[in-house]
Amino acid sequence: MLLKNQAASFSVRVRTGRGYNMTNRLPKTGKLSVLDIPLSLSALEKCLLNEYQRGFPLCEQPYAEIARQLEVSEAEVLATLASLQQRGLISRVGPVFAPRRAGSSTLAALAVPEQDLEAVAAIVNGFAEVNHNYQREHAWNLWFVVTAPDDARIREVLGEVEVATGLAVLDLPLERSFYIDLGFPLWC
C-alpha cells in the first residue's frame, strides 16, 4: 500500500495492522530541510498529499475512514482537502484512468528552427487530437502527444502537421510500458 518512493524519503515508515499514526508517517524534523518544499504545508496537508494518492477508501464514509487512520476529525480532512484544492495544489480527489485502450496515441516530435517555435507550437496546438505539447532542450525541440480513435486518424494528423509546418515528424508510438502508476512521488 505504500507509495514506492517512501522508503527513500521517510525516516519512519510504519503501517501497523490497524490504522495509521501521523507521527509515524511523516519525516522526522531532522530531514525536513532536505524534504521541505517552498510552501507552507501542515503535517496533515503533507500527509494527505503524500499518502493518499492511491488506495482511497471504498466505504460509505471514506473521509471519516482517512480521519480515523490519521487520528483527526472527518471535518478536518474535508476542510484540508478543500483548501488544498482551492489553493490549486491538488486538482481533485478521484480516479486516475489508464490511457484510453479503445483509442490510439503516439508521441511525436519536430525539430523546429528556434525563431519559428511559437508559431509551429500554435499550429500543433490547433489540432484537437494534441493533448500535450512541450518544448524540450534538444535538436528535436517540440514534443507532443496525439490521441485519436484509431491509427488511421493519428497518421492523418501527423501528415497534416507535416504539411502545415513543412517539417518532418518523428513518430514514436508506445510499444510497451514498464511503469505501474503508484502516484506522483513527492519529497523524493
CB nearer other proteins, residue 1 or residue 163: 1
Cβ 43 to other proteins shortest distance, Å = 15
d(CA 100, CA 98): 6
Judge contact between 104 and 157, C-beta under 8 A: no
The CB-of-50 to other proteins minimum distance in angstroms stands at 9
Q: How far is CA 32 from CA 49, 123, 144, 151, in A?
A: 16, 45, 36, 48
Using DSSP's 3-state secondary structure scheme, residue 148 falls into strand
The span from the CA of 123 to the CA of 157, in Å, is: 12
Least separation in angstroms between residue 121's CB and other proteins is 4
Residue matched to cell numbers 460509505: 60
Residue 156 or 186 having the CB closest to other proteins: 186
Please report, for residues 144, 147, 159, 163, 181, the alpha-carbon distance to residue 104 in angstroms, rounded to integers and kept in the order given.
14, 6, 16, 21, 20
Output DSSP code: residue 116.
G
Question: Between residues 21 and 182, which has the closer beta carbon with respect to other proteins?
Answer: 182
**Which grid cell sits at 184?**
506522483
Nearer to other proteins, 90 or 154 (CB): 90
What's the min distance (Å) between Cβ of 171 and other proteins? 7
Question: Shortest approach of other proteins to residue 68 CB, angstroms?
Answer: 13
Q: For residues 162 and 171, which CB has a smaller minimum distance to other proteins in the complex?
A: 171
